[in-house]
Amino acid sequence: MSYNHRSHAFDLSVGTLESGPLNAITDVAGVHVGHKTRIEGDDTRTGVTAILPHTGHLYHDPVTAAVYTINGFGKAVGFEQVRELGILETPILLTNTLSTWRAADALVTYMLRQSPDIWTVNPVVGECNDSYLNDIKARVITPEDAFAALDSASDGPVTEGCVGAGTGTSCYGFKGGIGTSSRVVGEYTVGALLQTNFGSREELRMNGIPVGWHLRDQYKAGKAPGPGSVMIILATDAPLTARQLQRLAKRAAFGLGRTGTACHHGSGDFVIAFSTQRAQTIQLDHVIMDPLFSAVVDCVENAVYNALLAATTITGREGNTLYALPHDDVRRLLQLETSRRAD
């Protein structure tokens, strides 16, 4: 299997499907990702991440899309029209909770610049609360930050961990951030990108091993952040309808579940799924959907691990610190469990 260096180095062979060349959402042809990271002074730890289904004029050439809410404690923008019409007509921006509307306003400006003839547009923005490390009330995100993320977007390798919208976020009580992954299903590719900010320490499981429970009392600095939220972006070049894309989006929850979370009461867990290819006819679900479901579950699980393994320790607001997942301890725990199972 062609897993990227993070998962491969830890022998985290998630599922049985092969990843794409980059093990990233950008393995889906046409998809571009960009980041703008804000790390300044003692208490700015935030940013913006942009996901573009293609680099053309999305308002005039929208993509088929769907959204799904696992748990709705969040501040998403633009989801209702996607549910109603089944299309995505702007790029997707991710940022922090209190900057959601600033990002949405910037996205409207971006779209008006790109297509001056439009009179209405539906900006789509998701968020996670990074206030443990970031002075979220300062609302430092500017239109220029959103433009920088959009303009820097590329179809190459995706930077993961403490970058863009993941700069100040957590994952299972460790430093998390942005994670991505892909899987190949015949002639099609499925990709996922996550903004992680969810899970309590004791829940974390990797390859079914309770890594978080073993590390529950270590690598902590004061009161830990609460189990927050996750934004999941799914992309595919399979020519699916909006209904089929929503069925795909629902399966993202199974990928999260493999890593241990129960999706808590106060979490905002949202999925946006889009296809870069228009459905010409409604395909038989039993022919195409099962392998795509498996690809989604594998991608989401793998993306969580990649976010954790790519992140580095960061100190921010009021001296709060989120420690990186300790690689040596993880290797030791995985090796011990592998040896135990072999016996």
Choose, from 7, 170, 229, 275, the residue flagged as catalytic: 229
269 is catalytic: yes
Residues in the chain: 343
19 is catalytic: no
- Catalytic-role residue among 27, 155, 269, 298: 269
Say which of 7, 200, 267, 294 is annotated catalytic.
267
**What gap in Å lies between CA 309 and CA 161, rounded to an integer?**
8
d(CA 317, CA 43) in angstroms, rounded, equals 4
| Long-range contacts at 78-82 (CB < 8 A, ≥ 24 apart) | 78/104, 78/122, 78/123, 78/124, 78/125, 79/124, 79/270, 79/272, 81/122, 82/122, 82/124, 82/272
Is residue 183 within 8 Å of residue 2, measured between CB atoms?
Answer: no
Query: How far is the C-alpha of 245 from the C-alpha of 224, rounded, in Å?
Result: 36
Side-chain-side CA neighbours of 106 within 13 Å: the count stands at 25
Place of tokens 């894309």: 245
- The residues with which 47 forms a beta bridge, in sequence order, are 37
Active-site positions read 229, 267, 269
